[in-house]
Structure 1
Amino acid sequence: MEAQSKEAHVENTFTDLSHINVRGGDGGAGCMSFRREAFVPRGGPDGGDGGHGGSVIVEADPQLSSLIDYRYKHHFRAERGTHGQGARRHGSDGSDLLLRVPVGTVVRELDPQTQEPLYDLADLTQPAERIVVAPGGAGGRGNIHFVTSVRRAPAFAEKGEPAREHWIELEMKLMADAALVGMPSVGKSSIIARISAARPKVADYPFTTLVPNLGVARAADGQSFVCADVPGLIEGASEGRGLGHQFLRHIERTALILHVVDLTGGYEGRDAVEDYRAINEELAAYASELALRPQIVVANKRDLPDTADAAHCLREAAEADGRAFFAVSAATGEGLDALVSACASEVSRLRADLAQGAPELDLTSTWERDRQRRERRLDVVREERHVWRVSGPAIERMVIQTDWENDEAVSYLQHRFERSGLDAVLAKAGATNGDEVRILGFAFTYEGADERGDSEDAAPDFDELAVDELAADELAGDEEGDAQ
């Protein structure tokens, strides 16, 4: 009983798929304040900025081998920024929250309703690669930023931006050089136990292995490779039958497939060639690229009687497909040395080809650029004949940070709309004078750029922009211009 409980505990500590809820810290509010002290007439505004909220960051850590840290805890929050104060005292930024995951983890955005993946955020295949999954809210600017030649005493400041909350998926795919695949109980665990220091559970019943096992195999010439023992597959695994979907993901990253076939046919007396064909069909159905992956066919249990004919037929089938064939015995160790040497040589060759074809790159900056591009997106949708819905993180941030009880702040928001090119985007989409424009829970009346006499410079270059995307330079330059 004690041994069984220990085995169950080991299996329960392996987690390769988790859904977690992440939220950055809210931004602190800017301060509306004026310098007031003796002998300093007309001291002017001196409200400090609010601090930015902390971000939730996912980072690849080579020391981790499972997503067990996210099995029971699903909500993660970064620290919020503090509010600005008078005398130009800025609020402090919130601390970032770092979530460490194993190398080989794919991060995806989830639909908030169905919890189905929408798109990939990052594929963290290198140590220390990271992705910001929940950026902190921007801190509101104090009234010192809104001084102009005609507005000498701005009596308003920006609110802090609330951080976005959403669900993401973490999916770990093993980063192994070779993977042992095959039907249940064909001897995969026995083989990895023989060729490496891994000690998986071995028993004579199907689905003994419930979690992937990793081991380092070393050939006689000193070459080594990482081998993964993947739980058994059955027909229909690509459609989710058995444990298929749970573990087929771990084969995707391997450079070499070691296809293990039981020459005895197991308890059911299956045909070895049919098993070989069935597993290959499942691999191809799950991901067509797997059908082209280098593969070595391993016929196990050759030490048992009446297996010579099955070995001969399987060899013919494997060689007809252009694949190397090895007949071995996990029980006696026969043929395993030759198999390990062949695998080590093949893995070494595949590594060299990969190194020449495409050098490994840290894509952290690429993931961040993609995230920032999504942040700048602007969608314009016609809800009714003369009603438009505008949405997008950047434009919504302007609305959220506005103090709607302050007339000066509302007037300044309209000025920001003009500078960002929103009116020109609406005009290109087909909005006409007098139409209603809705952003979040607020409604505005579209007056049209020509009616207000705006300069042509305020509009973005539509030859290079789509109608549903706001000009990045306009949004980025808006805050810089205000600061000046």
Structure 2
Amino acid sequence: MFIDEVKIHVKAGDGGAGCASFRREAHVPKGGPDGGDGGHGGNVVLEADNSLSTLIDYHYKRHFKAQRGTHGKGSQRDGANGDELVLPVPRGTIVRDAETGEVLGDLTHDGQRLVVVRGGGGGRGNRHFTTSTRRAPTFAELGEPGEERWIELELKLLADAALVGLPSVGKSSLIARMSAARPKIADYPFTTLVPNLGVVSSGEQSFVVADVPGLIEGASEGAGLGHAFLRHIERTALIMHVVDLSGGYEGRDPLEDLAIIDGELAAHAEDLSGRPQVVVGNKMDAERAAENSARVSAWCEEAGRPYFAVSALTGEGIGPLIRAVAAMVHELRQEMPSGEPAYEAEYIHVPRRDREITVSRAIDGGWDVTGSGVERVVIITDMQNEEAVAHLQRRLAKMGVEQRLREAGARDGDTVHIGPVSFEFESYADDGGEDGRV
């Protein structure tokens, strides 16, 4: 089964919690805090794999979760980091955020990687919170939750040339004759329901050709197989437009067929009409083929398109076609920008510890405080530990949260929401200056 569009949910691993412990050894009084840090959660990474040609693995399983980090322990033993989860996808896979439609990455080279969600950071152990006045902190940070999101994967075939045309013009027979590909072949419309890829050799040169399922009038608007397969032509450097010189069982006119497919290519969102194109007249072994071939040849000469008359059945004209296409593909490759892209994992997210803070009215009449940085410090705080809450209070004050709330009009007793936690706002005077307490 060929699957080229899927929607999956990815969840990175949560960070492990830091440990609150104290060194305890015989004859070593007041050993001090020695809590280890929690391990970081694993990322979820997509990696382009040359051996894959479909997204079928993600059609049946749609939820993926990376390993979480383990908790810290006493004696300054840090928790282990969670293993990253690597999801292999075919080359040519485009990754989008399912909610916003933003393109997160385009995996076009074997081994190219994209981090789609990052693991949560591990919490710090209590040994990090000693100060000149706080010698024995009894609290540690919790682990940070890993990122999660729904993403859409869309596969667009990577081929040098694409065979396009109406159903039953002989594209599958042609790719079978040109390459080692062995597609299903029969003499009725829509035999090909999935794209086929074949590698064609010509001397020292080779190229990849795709047999795209037959298009019909209205394909650019979704008729027939429509959008489902027009997308696979978008990445090809050369279009091989195949027409049936025999007229088929319906007595079709090859010039009319040319006009129909040209119209669909032009009407597609990417406007494929400007791509380099050759016209291939197939079934030269048929009775009326010579007459139709002369008409198509004259039309191509006027339109400035190379024309090749062939027979996929007998092999007539296949050699010159392969040599010409190989030369054109080689030339088009030379015109492409040089330089290989970096294959290291790419980060596509807004920085996790964003300092931007926004204060707005909440639905319940209270206040919403948002910002990745301020929400993070709340999430990693153990709200059951009074000393940890007092430490959070000081951090929020240093971040300017209380001042922003006062400027927005917060009053005593107002409810303040930061992430998943709600607080009560209090104002008080200290050292002659006005301040607030959340």
Taking structure 1 as the reference length, what is the TM-score of the superposition? 0.81
Q: From 164, 175, 188, give the equivalent of 2:147.
A: 164
Q: Which consecutive unaligned segments of at least 5 residues does structure 2 have?
A: none
Helix, strand or coil at the partner of 1:58: strand
Whether 1:99 and 2:82 are equivalent positions in the alignment is no
Tell which deviates more after alignment, 393-402 or 188-197. Answer: 393-402
Match of residue 78 from structure 2: 90
Aligned to 1:137: 120
Q: How does 1:329-478 map to 2 (within 5 A)?
A: 329-354=311-336, 357-362=337-342, 364=344, 367-368=346-347, 370-373=348-351, 376=354, 380=358, 382-383=360-361, 387-420=366-399, 431-434=408-411, 437-444=416-423, 445=425, 451-452=434-435
Matched, 1:28 2:16: yes
SS of match in other structure, 2:349: helix
- Asked whether the 8 Å contact 1:223–1:344 carries over to 2, the reply is yes
The number of aligned residues is 428
Map of 2:249 onto structure 1: 267
C-alpha contact 1:186 1:261 (8 A) present in aligned 2? yes
User: Does the residue aligned with 1:288 lie in a helix, a strand or coil?
Assistant: coil
The answer on whether the counterparts of 1:255 and 1:294 sit within 8 Å (CA) in structure 2 is: yes
Judging changes above 3 Å, is the alpha-carbon distance between structure 1 residues 451 and 235 closer, same or farther for their aligned structure 2 residues?
Answer: farther
Does the 8 Å contact 2:402/2:435 carry over to 1? no
Q: Structure 1 stretch 236-245 or stretch 93-102: which is displaced more?
A: 236-245
Percent identity between matched residues is 57
Structure 1: any 5+ residue segments left out of the alignment? Answer: 1-11, 112-116, 454-484
**Alpha-carbon deviations, 1:178-226, whole Å to 9, x = none?**
111111111100100111111111101111011111111122x432111
Structure 1 or 2: more helix by fraction: 1
Determine whether 1:70 maps to 2:48: no
The amino acid across from 2:178 in the alignment is: I
Q: 1:420 to 1:263 in 2, by over 3 A?
A: farther
- Give distance in 1, aligned partners of 2:292 and 2:434: 85
**Corresponding residue for residue 310 of structure 2:** 328
Distance 2:86 2:59 in 1: 17
Residues 218-240 of structure 1 deviation map (CA, whole Å, 9 limit, x = unaligned)? 22x43211111111111222222
Alignment of 1:248-259 (within 5 A): 248-259=230-241
Verify the 8 A CA contact 1:104 1:173 in the aligned structure 2. Answer: yes
Question: Structure 2 matches for 1:279-318, cutoff 5 A?
Answer: 279-318=261-300
CA displacement at 1:137 relative to structure 2: 1.8
Given that 1:433 and 1:447 are in contact with CA atoms closer than 8 Å, whether structure 2 keeps it comes out as: no
Measured at CA, do residues 122 and 311 of structure 1 come closer, stay the same or move farther in structure 2, by a change above 3 Å?
same
Confirm or deny that 1:213 pairs with 2:196: yes
* Letter paired with 1:371: H
Match of 1:187 among 165, 170, 181: 170
| 1:378/1:390 contact within 8 Å kept | no
Provide the C-alpha distance between the structure 2 equivalents of 1:105 and 1:23, rounded to a whole number of angstroms: 20
Q: Answer whether contact 1:23 1:76 (CA < 8 A) is retained.
A: yes
Q: Which moved more, 1:266-275 or 1:250-259?
A: 266-275
Q: What's the Cα RMSD here? A: 2.7
State whether residues 330 and 336 of structure 1, in contact with CA within 8 Å, keep that contact through their aligned partners in structure 2: yes
Secondary structure of the residue aligned to 1:315 is: helix
In structure 2, the residue corresponding to 1:241 is in which secondary structure? coil
224-233 or 55-64, which deviates more:
55-64
Q: Are the counterparts in 2 of residues 48 and 144 from structure 1 also a CA contact under 8 Å?
A: yes
